[in-house]
Structure 1
Amino acid sequence: MKLILLAYFAVLSNILSSVEGRVRYSKRPNHKLGTAEYAECMSNAPIVFNRFDASYYTRNLSVVFNILGYSSVDANVTFDIIVEAYGEQRARFTFDPCEINLNTVCPVARDTAITTQGILPVSPQDVQMIPKIAWGIPDFEGLVRFRMYRSEDIAASSIDNSTPLACMIATLNNGHTFKNKVVKALSGTALALSIAGVLGFYVIGMEHSTYLTRQVFINSVPSLQHMGELLQCIAFTGAIGITQPKVLVAWASNFAWILGFITNKEIENSLESFRKHSNGNLSSPKIGGVHRRDAVATNPQSPIPGFYHGFQGLATEVGTLTTNLFTLTLIWFLISLAIAGGIVIIFVLIIKFLRQTRIIAKSSCDYITRYWFRVLFNACMRWVLVCWPVLVTMIIYQFTLREAYGPVILAALLLALLFGLFLWLTIKVIRVITTSGLSNEDNPETLISDPKIYTWWGWLYLDLKERRWLYVYACFAHYFSFALVLALVQQFAKIQTILLFVIEIISFILLAVFRPFVGFKNSFCVFLVALTRVVSFALLIPIAFDLAIIPKVIIAIILIIIQGLVFSFMALWSLWNFITMLGTAWPAISYTVPWLRRLIDEYQRQLHIDFENPAVSASEKLSTEEIIPQESNFEEPSTTKKEGNVDTKEDGNDDVFSLVNASPMRPASTIPSHSCDNGINEMQRTV
């Protein structure tokens, strides 16, 4: 029995000792700080570096470094390494490389390459100088300054009064950052879900009547416009011309793709070739960008790593040059515009195929198939409207660089095209209003419901109230003034942040006073995005002033939390809108989203009232004001002739529908209620 007890205690003691050892081992710190971006901080240096890597490991208390360079002098050298964190010097190491057996620099020889790899031991006292927060905080604000001096100069005076032979500066990275591919994927998914949800409900609304399409579009939010403006706001916060905390630039870079800042090695090589053939200066100090660990050359005029300023800092974080930003934006804008147009064309071809094969009714979606070019025009112009702030901003910013004439010419042509489109649009609408007699102030709603206007220009004011359609010009003025300040005042951070805040305040006040957007949910999204812009640029004002780096980081984190919460809310709302759209469209699921059910019930009720008593006044019908105000009727004065289920004008102008019985529209008796369109006696507004 005693032997059994002794054996039991022996086994138990071994288990406890092994567990204790594992616990002690797991509690040992295993932190790491390593260099990321680097650049030379001295021009015309006798010793130049092509590579500088350094990593500090807390477990073995050592710094491992790797240096590649070239020497043009003979000298005995002394290394000086300074570690800075959050604006303060935390550690300094001055030593003779011969003491740690760095033979290639002991001494350095003229016209020889330097290849040095070494391990520098660190004392526990030096480790205590580095704050513990450095090991876990995202986007650690740290720098390493590496200099080489002549040993004779240091012996004759002091190291601070000596002239270095070489100088490098590199940022420190602890492996934690707000720059994350998951956030990029989530932002792209949220934008795609918002588009898919709106388009899905748009088609569902056409299954019942074109009368419902505008109401459905406004109630299925957030839309492309809402989500696009929010993503642009977050991305632009990283492009303000202030010395920004690294954490804010890293966060903004997740959304830089909405600005067209998407690049890879092949695109960069093509852009460099384009700039080279248009007298581009590759060593211009305005180019921006610094080198990472896989770089093989260093530009002495690049921005100092760790100091992120305006578009240069955002370009560095994205991995491109500032002179390439406009060209990247233009390339991806044209690609996205082609994708939007291709989706519309493919959809029209699918509808035609389904009609030819009689899978759907012969007259289903007649408006889309007959007037596909108007649908295509509305879709493309809606995307141009979303991209307008980005395009104007990058055009004006390209003018400030003046580094190569090729991108400047492209920017000038695009600016002329955009403003030509704006002027043509204004002249066209004014001419239609004048010639059609729609300028009567007693009945401004006819502008909204006139087929000569909204079938072409509905993308401008689709979500605006009838009496507030001119608010779209206030939006253009807002975008243009924002672009001017953001692009032209990059070198005056304090003035820029204050002006941007004033612009957003004025825009928000106009929005609150006029309340131009129709529908509660639509207005809520607009107000939420506008308020986010105001708060974002308000928080950037103190960062523009001479605050210490730690208060700047705290303000930046508060801004990230606010923007992150708003983005998460809008993304979840887009997901819910998409899910409810799928549930409504799926035949096996007998579910209809409540607001759509109310719209359909109201439409059916008004159909019944109009069928029993066509002379009943519209004011006696049940109001749908809680969902969206009714559109006013517009009856074309000319006589019409019936062609199937479509009313066309007898004078041969078949590009305009007559809106007889436009509100509500009676379903055609020969077409089932589940078809895409019930006869199209009413002209729909297209996106």
Structure 2
Amino acid sequence: MRFPTLWRPLALLSTLATLVLPAAADVALRSSSLAACQANSGFTASLFDVSYTPNNNSVYINMIATSSIQGHVLFDITILAYGYQIIRTTLDPCTSNLPGLCPMTSGNMNNPFVLKVSPEAASNIPGIAYTFPDLDAKVRVNINMTSGPQAGTRVACIEADISNGKTVDLIGVKWASAAVAGLALLCSAVVSGLGYTNAASHVAANALSLFGYFQAQAMIGLCGVPLPPAVQSWTQDFVWSMGIIRVGFIQDILTWYQRSTGGSPSTIFDSLHTVSVQVEKRGLPMLVEPAVNLFKRAASMMPKTGLVERAASGIAKRGNVQTFFGSYIVYGIQRVAFRAVIETTNLFMTGLVFFYIFVVITALLVIVFKGILELAFKLHWIKNETFADFRAGWVTVLKGVLFRVALIGYPQMVVLCVWEFTQNDSPAEMVLAACFFFGISAVLGWAAFKVIRVARRSLEMHRNPAYILFSDPQTLNKWGFLYVQFRASAYYFVLPLLGYTLLKGLFIALGQRSGQTQAVALIIIEVGALITASVLRPWMDKSTNSFNIAIFSMNFINAIFLLIFTDVFGLPPIVIGVVGVVLWIANAAFSLILLLMLIITTTIVLLSNNPDTRYQYMADDRNSFIKSQTMLQTTAELNALAATARGEGKHGVDLDEEDNESEMSNPANFNSVRSSRSPVADAAAALDGGSSTPDHSLKNRASYNGSFVRAPSPFNTNGSNSNVSASRLSHNSAQMVGYRTHDRSSSLAWQRGAGYDEVSH
């Protein structure tokens, strides 16, 4: 038999996919669920387990079925792959010696049996069917009467999905993606502690964006849309980013907790030996629609308690769960839970527990790292300036880290908490959902409000939002997680980002019964996010903007694919099947590129002696405002000694105590500059190329890259005494604030941006 050209491109994809799939000792085709494809079907099955092994050409069949058909029948068998019909044949059970089917009799069937397949029939199955991952294939059997008054009519229709055991839902992909994102975040924290804030902010921004992309992939799988098998498996690779991780003993604890708080846990995995579970696919929504009208929540929930049969319509309801023609149907969030082997009533608590574990582990790591550093310092394994900023203000750093964890976990908490409001698994879980959803939303909203207040205050005082946002160490360490990835003038962008996350999560959690509504809403949300990101370009530099715009573009494309999967356009099934493969291949390639970029960037940062040099300094000149906290006392003492040496006495520079706490210099750069330059040389250099813009206060002195700039000496460069007036001293101080050894030409713009053109003598 000649097979259509559809298999040729799939054969190429299969060859590529087998490179990353584990080798199987035996190939087989399996099906674990049987669905009725017509109303009032005369043949239904609550359990269907079939396995075909080509090595011995045998089919093992185990099913629990109910038949109301009496008489001789003919089976019309059709095999479809990606919606394309590849095989159609008829089978007479009398000539094939099928036990109990010639003639068919009404009653229950519960007798496993084995059928032999002829070599001719086996040769009709292409080899790709055994190797291509997440095969979108199914067999449809129409049962037609050949005797009696109903001769020539179809009395039953049944369908079974076919799987070859190959899938892209791989544990290796999950661990690799989680490890890269986690190690990149850890690397950015270490590099930041070493004082390389520019490199650390770039690595952290890209890692957070990549993590957000993983969560967006998981949200596709959480939508209540019929997804092709390849898309289901691909999105399942990233549900770990939403806290959906199965650990056996944790599931046992959560089941006990739900029972003890007045809930009724579902037991679908305990009944798989008697009940089939169908993952929603194309064709089912039309049949399920009558049930949706009868039971508002039936179409989106799993089995709980009390089975109520409705024989006339073929629909049963177990608690708040729908079964269809003897089988349970799962889709959307329940589909993800079922594929993760998590009871649906435990899904919310699973995500909540892992979020809590993530918070606790992160806090413990910070505390342990602080203890290790202190021990290493006491044992003289590290120098005093090593991680000195972290050791001095580790509590503030810990608060900032926990805020960042809340920001990372916000998408999962929005989806799971709001979805729990529709499930009501137990009163205690409802309370937890309300506390975490409103609590985290309020905390992040308050943090965003604080950032906006600080930025506006900085604009009022210095005409530059970056001044206070980056010069105050407490503000930077505590609230910096909300704005360091953006340019200073886009400090407000955290609010649109939080609104984007909230709106997207609400539609996913509350729109489970309407996949079309979810798809249209996601298209509108994603196109709005893409346009906003492309127009505003709020991230810190060109490369980071490109990185994030590319992610938003892919999210928008995925939303379009999602709308296609709803079959709203009435496309042929083969088109929808191919689109599913395209989504998988496109996102896999895109994810690989992002992962490689992050791995290469992180590796270069770790191996560089000075990783800050590989990144351009920000256009907002934030590095000019970032101060180190390690040399506060030393700087104050040196300032006093310098003032005394210049003979300024009580008329010298008056340093404000509060300002000293927020304006500090980097130890390494400070020491190197101090040893290589004298106050006289600094003053001469500043007078040579400095700005003529006066300063309103000497307390607004600044440093660039941590290098300390001294006030001008009353002596000129050849050692002769010169009388410097107070106005000239203020004038020269402003020059020295803007002086930077590596780029003198940009000092004027920086001074104007920081508000140094406002003078009050």
Please tell me whether residue 181 in structure 1 is matched to residue 174 in structure 2.
Answer: no
1:570 is matched with which residue?
Answer: 594
Shift of the alpha carbon at 1:333? 0.9
CA distance in 1, matches of 2:41, 2:427: 32
Shift of the alpha carbon at 1:562? 2.0
Distance change in 2, residues 1:489/1:33 (3 Å): same
1:233 is matched with which residue?
Answer: 216
Shift of the alpha carbon at 1:51? 4.6
Tell me the matched-pair count. Answer: 586
Distance change in 2, residues 1:598/1:479 (3 Å): closer
SS at match of 2:62: strand
Please tell me whether residue 444 in structure 1 is matched to residue 465 in structure 2.
Answer: yes
2:301 maps to which of 287, 296, 317: 287
Please tell me whether residue 658 in structure 1 is matched to residue 654 in structure 2.
Answer: no
Q: Is contact 1:79–1:95 with CA below 8 Å preserved after alignment?
A: yes
1:194 is matched with which residue?
Answer: 184
- Return the letter of the residue paired with 1:224: A
Q: TM-score, normalised by structure 1?
A: 0.72
2:231 maps to which of 239, 242, 248: 248
CA distance in 1, matches of 2:353, 2:657: 37
Distance change in 2, residues 1:88/1:422 (3 Å): same
SS at match of 1:355: helix
- Return the letter of the residue paired with 1:246: P
Equivalences for residues 262-277 of structure 1 within 5 A: 262-277=245-260
Q: Is contact 1:48–1:70 with CA below 8 Å preserved after alignment?
A: yes
2:612 is matched with which residue?
Answer: 596
Shift of the alpha carbon at 1:456? 1.9
SS at match of 1:139: coil
Please tell me whether residue 53 in structure 1 is matched to residue 49 in structure 2.
Answer: yes
SS at match of 2:112: strand
1:25-58 deviation per Cα after TM superposition (whole angstroms, max 9, x unaligned): xxxxx96322145578899999986753222344
2:723 is matched with which residue?
Answer: none
CA distance in 2, matches of 1:269, 1:661: 53
Equivalences for residues 306-317 of structure 1 within 5 A: 309-317=331-339
Moved more, 460-469 or 177-186: 177-186
2:576 is matched with which residue?
Answer: 552
- Return the letter of the residue paired with 2:397: V
Please tell me whether residue 542 in structure 1 is matched to residue 564 in structure 2.
Answer: yes
Q: TM-score, normalised by structure 2?
A: 0.66
1:328 maps to which of 350, 361, 367: 350
CA distance in 2, matches of 1:543, 1:72: 33
CA distance in 1, matches of 2:405, 2:476: 17
Q: Is contact 1:201–1:220 with CA below 8 Å preserved after alignment?
A: no
How well do the aligned residues superpose, as a CA RMSD in angstroms?
Answer: 4.7
2:150 is matched with which residue?
Answer: 157
1:99-148 deviation per Cα after TM superposition (whole angstroms, max 9, x unaligned): 747489999898x99332221434736864x6665344321223356899
SS at match of 1:143: strand
Structure 1 residue runs of 5 or longer lacking an equivalent are 1-29, 291-297, 585-591, 600-623, 636-640, 648-652, 683-687
Q: Is contact 1:396–1:484 with CA below 8 Å preserved after alignment?
A: yes
SS at match of 1:223: helix
CA distance in 2, matches of 1:657, 1:155: 99
1:64 is matched with which residue?
Answer: 59
1:35 is matched with which residue?
Answer: 31
1:476 maps to which of 472, 484, 498: 498
CA distance in 2, matches of 1:598, 1:116: 67
Q: Is contact 1:71–1:108 with CA below 8 Å preserved after alignment?
A: no
1:532-564 deviation per Cα after TM superposition (whole angstroms, max 9, x unaligned): 212222332322223222111211222222211
Distance change in 2, residues 1:370/1:197 (3 Å): closer
Q: Is contact 1:139–1:246 with CA below 8 Å preserved after alignment?
A: yes
SS at match of 1:178: coil
Distance change in 2, residues 1:101/1:252 (3 Å): closer
Shift of the alpha carbon at 1:308? 7.3
Distance change in 2, residues 1:368/1:169 (3 Å): same
Distance change in 2, residues 1:423/1:397 (3 Å): same
Equivalences for residues 665-684 of structure 1 within 5 A: 666-668=669-671
Shift of the alpha carbon at 1:242? 1.8
Moved more, 93-102 or 538-547: 93-102
Distance change in 2, residues 1:289/1:553 (3 Å): farther
1:455 is matched with which residue?
Answer: 477
Structure 2 residue runs of 5 or longer lacking an equivalent are 1-25, 269-297, 305-316, 638-655, 677-704, 710-761
Moved more, 256-265 or 90-99: 90-99
1:511-539 deviation per Cα after TM superposition (whole angstroms, max 9, x unaligned): 22222211333223222222221222233
CA distance in 1, matches of 2:660, 2:121: 84
Distance change in 2, residues 1:42/1:125 (3 Å): closer
Shift of the alpha carbon at 1:302? 4.6
- Return the letter of the residue paired with 1:117: F
- Return the letter of the residue paired with 1:121: V
SS at match of 1:462: coil
1:8-29 deviation per Cα after TM superposition (whole angstroms, max 9, x unaligned): xxxxxxxxxxxxxxxxxxxxxx
CA distance in 2, matches of 1:122, 1:261: 45
Distance change in 2, residues 1:94/1:196 (3 Å): same
CA distance in 2, matches of 1:322, 1:661: 53
Distance change in 2, residues 1:223/1:529 (3 Å): same
1:229-257 deviation per Cα after TM superposition (whole angstroms, max 9, x unaligned): 12112222222332111111111111111
- Return the letter of the residue paired with 2:469: I
- Return the letter of the residue paired with 1:157: Q
1:143 maps to which of 111, 119, 138: 138
Q: Is contact 1:289–1:316 with CA below 8 Å preserved after alignment?
A: no
CA distance in 1, matches of 2:493, 2:211: 19
SS at match of 1:469: helix
CA distance in 2, matches of 1:271, 1:681: 57
Shift of the alpha carbon at 1:329? 1.3
CA distance in 2, matches of 1:382, 1:183: 25
1:629 is matched with which residue?
Answer: 621
Distance change in 2, residues 1:484/1:188 (3 Å): same
- Return the letter of the residue paired with 1:414: F
Q: Is contact 1:287–1:321 with CA below 8 Å preserved after alignment?
A: no
CA distance in 1, matches of 2:324, 2:334: 8
Please tell me whether residue 224 in structure 1 is matched to residue 214 in structure 2.
Answer: no
1:422 is matched with which residue?
Answer: 444
CA distance in 2, matches of 1:655, 1:583: 38
Distance change in 2, residues 1:51/1:216 (3 Å): same
Shift of the alpha carbon at 1:71? 7.9
SS at match of 1:301: strand
Q: Is contact 1:171–1:306 with CA below 8 Å preserved after alignment?
A: no
Distance change in 2, residues 1:367/1:145 (3 Å): same
